[in-house]
Structure 1
């Protein structure tokens, strides 16, 4: 069986990136040709400390700045679209597990939509936010006992997982037969990634350990006999990521130019399929 070790064999230099969010440290992003994916090197032994930042707003409900408010507004819209997506699946009992549940907003929407909700979130701060919304989250997958799910979602989570192959094996075991796995990840082959290069915010080293292409997702999940059924673009991500990338590159967000690059990325992706982020629908046969 393939292990993560194989992802680190025969790597070629691709980019040198900086952690703009927390440490300002430099990391190599290396390419694995066989899987058509990138890996971050080295991986810090104390990775948890690299998430301790007020700027890491995926784990907050901040509305303190205009940028935060726009983020929350877009999030509200995308949550409804995510619910519509999972409602489209022909599921047995409407049981869902959201991994990397953050502050619980997606699960709250699912709960209102009649789903039996379950969530995992390693951040104690995020779990506390969720608890205030009456959403109780587990800290780790190992706490789930004797339960399988119709749908498992990971919204921009897989790129953070250290033990990748072992983890996707666990996901397969937690899915019911014919269950659906929803994986959303950045796409390093998008136009905005190529435009911003080492400043592309979705590299987000060292928190993002892996950087996927469409080929990589298909190959990695074939290791556990799961197949990509459908790929859905996440069009808002090109604008959001471009805004952050402008900050990385120019020390200011430059929203007009960021919007232009985000729009250009989406237009080019209509033909290539290489959107800034992609959602993959996989089935457990």
Structure 2
């Protein structure tokens, strides 16, 4: 295990947009990886300018996009059930990085008072077409409190990690629930694909978390209540990783790696992606 926070864990490539390479630096204190260099706030948007960036579109063309949308439907139901159970009913909900608004749309149908943040204009416009109105920045909710705050594969994208976490915690009501889903770089599929692992997704992913990191980056007022696996993620990530590594989508190989990643995680608990559920003890 590396102990110098400046050590390079590995070097990864932006396969989606620029073709540029970025170092992943190991933070020994928090046991996480940091993308270096990180895009400036003025330049980061260009790294999202791709029709293949699915979370900002409702694109169903092509097999990979179709599979993503099918899995997404099932995941939305699971997410809505999770927030209901953890909150013992409905209440006020803030979804950060709400994309095209599908999660909030379902939550509203089930009785939640919904609010959302999404910096991408195209995604906000698609959400608006579903009658889900999203704010552009988190700053617009300053002073509000929410029973549940969710970030579904979003925390890894947010700049100024410590400051952002502080803002999120201030928005959580006493006794409220914070739910965060992030990739896990200690998973089998990450270790197998290494620099080709699609969930590194540099430079859009600025931070890369381990379970150890997710236990220390929040204040002591937030108690880690539960960790849940996202078992479908290993298959989808492996499919994209095969394309990164070999230039084509080897479905059989990707399915095997994704399956083996989940099987190995039965004992290690190191799934490809994990949901962390926190309770505000204030």
Equivalences for residues 22-33 of structure 1 within 5 A: 22-33=17-28
2:251 to 244, 252, 255: 255
1:18 aligns with 2:13: yes
- Aligned to 1:110, what secondary structure does the other structure show? helix
Q: CA deviation at 1:146?
A: 3.7
Number of the residue aligned with 2:35? 40
Q: Tell me if 1:57 matches 2:54.
A: yes
Structure 2 residue 265 is matched with structure 1 residue 269: yes
CA–CA separation in structure 2 for the residues paired with 1:273 and 1:160: 24
CA contact (8 A) 1:159 1:208 kept: yes
Query: Is 1:140 matched up with 2:137?
Result: yes
Structure 2: which 5+ runs fail to align?
none
Hey, what's the Cα distance between the residues in 1 that align with 2:272 and 2:113? 31
- Tell me what 1:88 maps to: 85
Check the 8 A contact 2:14/2:202 in 1, yes or no.
Answer: yes
Q: What secondary structure does 1:183 align onto?
A: strand
Q: CA deviation at 1:225?
A: 3.2
* Residue among 57, 64, 72 paired with 1:67: 64
Query: C-alpha deviations, 1:178-236, integer Å up to 9, x for none?
Result: 100000000000000000000000000001010000000111014x5322111000000
Give, in whole Å, the separation in 2 of the partners of 1:23 and 1:149: 38
| Structure 1 residue 241 corresponds to structure 2 residue 237 | yes
Rounded Cα–Cα distance in structure 1 between residues aligned with 2:68 and 2:215: 30
Aligned to 1:3: none
Unaligned runs of 5+ in 1: 1-8
Report if the CA contact (8 A) 1:40-1:209 is conserved: yes
Query: Aligned equivalents of 2:97 and 2:87: distance in 1?
Result: 24
SS at match of 2:195: helix
* Structure 1 Cα separation of the partners of residues 159 and 143 of structure 2: 24
Match of 1:5 in 2: none
Which ranges of 4 or more aligned residues in structure 1 deviate by more than 3 Å? 90-93
Of the structure 1 ranges 202-211 and 41-50, higher mean CA displacement relative to structure 2 is found in: 41-50
For 1:90 and 1:70, the matched residues in 2 are separated by 30
Q: How many residues align?
A: 276
Q: State TM-score, norm by structure 2.
A: 0.95
**Mapped partners of 2:13, 2:229: distance in 1:** 27
Q: RMSD between aligned alpha carbons?
A: 1.2
Whole-Å separation in 2 of the counterparts to 1:225 and 1:117? 24
Contact 1:43 1:206 (C-alpha < 8 Å) held by counterparts: yes
Taking the aligned partners of 2:66 and 2:171, their CA distance within structure 1 comes to: 35
Pairwise CA distance, 1:91: 5.0
